[in-house]
C-alpha cells in the first residue's frame, strides 16, 4: 500500500543553518505531496504542496521538489530561524481511494 517515510528526529540546528528533512514515498500512480507544519500547542497547517512530478512547492523560505524518479519530496530551507521550531509532516494524497497518508513527523528545534 501507499506510505510515506520521513527522516527520524529530533533535529537541532543553530539559527541560520541549512535545513533538509528527507521524505520518500511509496505510491501507485501520481499522488499529490504535501508538507504540513505543527507549531507547539497548535494543529497542523499546510506549509507547501506539489501536485505533479517536477513541481516545486515553496512558502516562507521553505522549498520541496516532487521527484518521481527518486520518489522523494525533501524539505529544504536555506537559513532557519528560531520561529521555525516545530514538527514537520510529509504527506501524500491519492485522487482515488479516499486516502491520505502522513509521515511520522520530524521535530525541529532551532537554537539562537
Partner 1 sequence: DTAVSQTPKYLVTQMGNDKSIKCEQNLGHDTMYWYKQDSKKFLKIMFSYNNKELIINETVPNRFSPKSPDKAHLNLHINSLELGDSAVYFCASSLGLAGGGTDTQYFGPGTRLTVL
DSSP per-residue letters across 41-107: TS-EEEEEEE-STT-EEEETTEEEE-BTTTTB--EEESS--GGG-EEEEEEEE-SSSS-EEE---EE
Min. distance of Cβ 85 from partner 1 in angstroms?
Answer: 14
Q: Provide the mask over 3-42, with x wherever binding to partner 1 is found by CB under 8 A and - wherever it is not.
A: -----------------------------x-x-x-x--xx
Which residues sit at the interface with partner 1, rule CB under 8 A? 32, 34, 36, 38, 41-46, 49, 51, 87, 89, 93-100, 102, 104-105, 107
Amino acid at each position: 500500500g501507499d506510505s510515506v517515510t520521513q527522516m527520524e528526529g529530533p533535529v537541532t540546528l543553530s539559527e541560520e543553518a541549512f535545513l533538509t528533512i528527507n521524505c520518500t514515498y511509496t505510491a501507485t500512480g501520481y499522488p499529490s505531496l504535501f508538507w504540513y507544519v505543527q507549531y507547539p500547542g497548535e494543529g497542523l497547517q499546510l506549509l507547501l504542496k506539489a501536485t505533479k512530478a517536477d513541481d516545486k512547492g515553496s512558502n516562507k523560505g521553505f522549498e520541496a521538489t516532487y521527484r518521481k524518479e527518486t520518489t522523494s519530496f525533501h524539505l529544504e530551507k536555506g537559513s532557519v530561524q528560531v520561529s521555525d521550531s516545530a514538527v514537520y509532516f510529509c504527506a501524500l494524497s491519492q485522487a482515488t481511494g479516499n486516502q491520505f497518508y502522513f509521515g511520522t513527523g520530524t521535530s525541529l528545534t532551532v537554537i539562537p
